Chain A
Amino acid sequence: MSDIADRVKKIVVEHLGVEEEKVTETASFIDDLGADSLDTVELVMAFEEEFGIEIPDDAAETIQTFGDAVKFITEAA
């Protein structure tokens, strides 16, 4: 697993308080990991800070799963 994926996973695990095994490629933040809409906003904020990138609102809306997040950040970073 890439370094980016590890860092993203760490943020998700810490923020949502879920077990690492549950954070799979297709795991949806809201449907599978128990996030509410405000959690997803906070996750995006945390990703922005961790990776020093800007994630515009329309892009943030497309980040639904752990895999989406890793893909977006890999392309943006």
Chain B
Amino acid sequence: MFDLTGKTALVTGASGGIGGEIAKALHGAGAKVALSGTRVEPLEALAAELGAGAFVCPANLSDPDSVEALPKAAAAAMGSLDILVNNAGITRDNLFMRMSDDEWQSVIDVNLTSSFRLMRGVLRGMMKARWGRIVTITSVVGQTGNPGQGNYAAAKAGLVGMSKSLAYEVASRGITVNCVAPGFIATAMTDKLNDEQKGKILGQIPAGRMGLPEEIAAAVLYLASPEAGYVTGATLSVNGGMAMI
């Protein structure tokens, strides 16, 4: 099950907690992986840990030219590009009344617009191959909203609508487009929360704990696999029961 031998995958945000685990899971299933992110050092460390079949493809997702070049660089390094995992994301939290245009725009640019450009960039090869997997990491807050995260929630909800639209367009070509919506996952991003915030969050999670990056990676691995070929336009929630949508 879930054998990706001979497949090639690009993972954005691979220097982060969730992205790194996704890269490990895909590589562990036999795929070649292109690791993308802005910080080269952690990417190289991860590539060294994975060994053969791991390639470092740095990119700055707030720069359109860098985004356009990324799928080409990844395909050149690996020979093809069968699987795209849009994982990279940033937060610029602020209360709505205080949110600046810059805080809004930077989150939309990196979290939503760069995913659009990457999806557009990988489609040609996938269409020709009549096989492709696009998996985008969204968030429970795109489904429920979250105070202080109007920009982030908008971008994440936008990714779902965009993915569904693309799923319609390319389903007949063997390409699936899906989302994974994590709840609260123990990463550097959630480490920033204070104990009171964490306590409040845990109270809302039936599972009574935060999720692990590996649990997101497992969902991505499934959606990237040949076995998930009949699943498209879906959002798989991995949230400990926090929002049963």
A42–B172 CA distance with the chains assembled, in angstroms: 13
Closest beta carbon of chain B to A16's beta carbon, Å: 13
Q: 1/0 per residue A29-51: CB within 8 Å of B? A: 00000000010001001000000
CB of B124 within 8 A of CB of A45, answer yes
Q: A65–B115 Cα gap in the complex (Å)?
A: 34
A38 to B127, CA, bound (A): 10
Main secondary structure of the interface of B (DSSP, over half): helix
Whether the pair B124, A38 counts as a contact (CB closer than 8 A) is no
What is the chain A residue whose CB lies nearest that of B169?
A38
Question: Chain A residues with Cβ under 8 A from B169's Cβ?
Answer: 38
Interface residue total, chain A, C-beta cutoff 8 A: 3
Encode contact with A along B167-185: 1 for CB under 8 Å, 0 otherwise.
Answer: 0011011000000000000
Contact with A along B92-123 (1 / 0, CB 8 A): 00000000000000000000000000000000
Residues of A within 8 A of B128 (CB): 45
Interface of A is mostly: helix
**Least CB separation from B173: chain A residue:** A38
Q: A8-45 vs B: 1/0 string, CB under 8 Å?
A: 00000000000000000000000000000010001001
Chain B residues with Cβ below 8 Å from A38 are 169-170, 172-173
Using Cβ atoms and an 8 Å threshold, which residues of chain A touch B172?
A: 38
CB distance from B125 to the nearest CB of A (A): 10
Give the shortest distance, in Å, between B232 (CB) and chain A (any CB). 15
**A42 to B169 alpha-carbon distance, docked (Å):** 12
Bound: A44/B127 CA distance, A: 13
Shortest distance from the beta carbon of B160 to any chain A beta carbon, whole Å = 22
Residues of B within 8 A of A42 (CB): 127
CA distance A75 to B23 in the complex (A): 47
> Complex Cα distance A38/B174, Å?
13
Which residues of chain A from 61 to 77 have any CB-CB distance to chain B below 8 Å in the complex?
none
Cα–Cα, bound, A12→B243 (Å): 49
* B-chain residues with CB within 8 Å of residue A45 when the two chains form the complex: 124, 127-128
How distant is the Cα of A41 from the Cα of B14 in the complex, in angstroms? 32
- Of residues 172 to 221 in B, which have CB atoms within 8 Å of A's CB atoms? 172-173
- The 8 sampled A-B contact pairs (Cβ below 8 Å) are A38-B169, A38-B170, A38-B172, A38-B173, A42-B127, A45-B124, A45-B127, A45-B128
Q: Given contacts A38-B169, A45-B127, A45-B128, could you give 5 more A-B pairs where the C-beta distance is less than 8 Å? A: A38-B170, A38-B172, A38-B173, A42-B127, A45-B124
Shortest 8 CB-CB contacts between residues of A and residues of B: A42-B127, A38-B169, A45-B124, A38-B173, A45-B127, A38-B170, A38-B172, A45-B128
